[in-house]
Amino acid sequence: MRALLQRVSRASVTVDGAVVGEIGTGLLVLICAMQGDTEAEADKLATKISKLRIFQDVAGKMNLSVKDVGGAALVVSQFTLGADLRGNRPGFSYAAAPEVAERLYSYFSARVAAEGIAVRNGIFGADMDVSLNNDGPVTIWMDTASL
C-alpha cells in the first residue's frame, strides 16, 4: 500500500457540496492499495502511521504521534498514488482493482481506529474536494514495500 501523510491543523472532504468528513489537528492520509496488497500491508501501514512521531513536543521537536496529541485521521482513497509515469499520460494499472481497493481502504480505516485514533473518511470512488491546512508543512510518503 502507498500513503501520503500530511500533518494538518484541519482537513475536510466535500462531495457534491456536502462535507462528508472533517478533522482538526491530525493527519490527512491519502491511501492507495496496490496490486497484490492484502490485509497484511494495511496492518503494517496502520501500525506505522499510528506510531509515527511527527508532531511537536513542548520543546518543538517532532517527538509525538497523532495518538499522543489526541489527533484524528482523515483517510481518503487516492488511486493516483499508484501511477505508472513511464509515459506522458499516467497509467494506473499498478493500483489494485476497485473492489479490492475499496475493501482494503475500509479495512485500513478500521485498523487505524483500532489503534485508538478517531477516523473520518472520504467516499471511495467519489469525485472529492479535499481541503487542508498543512501544519509545518509536514508531508511524508510511505510505501509498505519499503517499511
Q: Residue holding cell 506510531?
A: 51
Active site residue 78: yes
Q: Between the CA of residue 146 and those of 36, 45, 48, 63, what are the distances in Å?
A: 15, 11, 12, 22
| Catalytic residue selected from 35, 80, 92, 139 | 80
| CATH T-level topology, domain 2-137 | D-tyrosyl-trna(Tyr) Deacylase; Chain: A; (3.50.80)
pLDDT tens, N- to C-terminus, the chain (147 residues): 999 999 999 999 999 999 999 999 999 999 999 999 999 999 999 999 999 999 999 999 999 999 999 999 999 999 999 999 999 999 999 999 999 999 999 999 999 999 999 999 999 999 999 999 999 999 999 999 999
Active site residue 144: no
Parse the chain into domains and list their residue ranges. 2-137
Active site residue 80: yes
Report how far residue 132's alpha carbon sits from residue 126's, in angstroms, rounded to the nearest whole number. 18
Q: Do the Cβ atoms of 66 and 27 come closer than 8 Å? A: yes
Report how far residue 104's alpha carbon sits from residue 81's, in angstroms, rounded to the nearest whole number. 15
Q: Between the CA of residue 73 and those of 11, 56, 95, 132, 142, what are the distances in Å?
A: 9, 17, 22, 12, 15
Q: Which of 41, 37, 28 is nearest to 95 (CA)?
A: 37
| Catalytic residue selected from 6, 55, 78, 108 | 78
| Catalytic residue selected from 79, 92, 139, 144 | 79
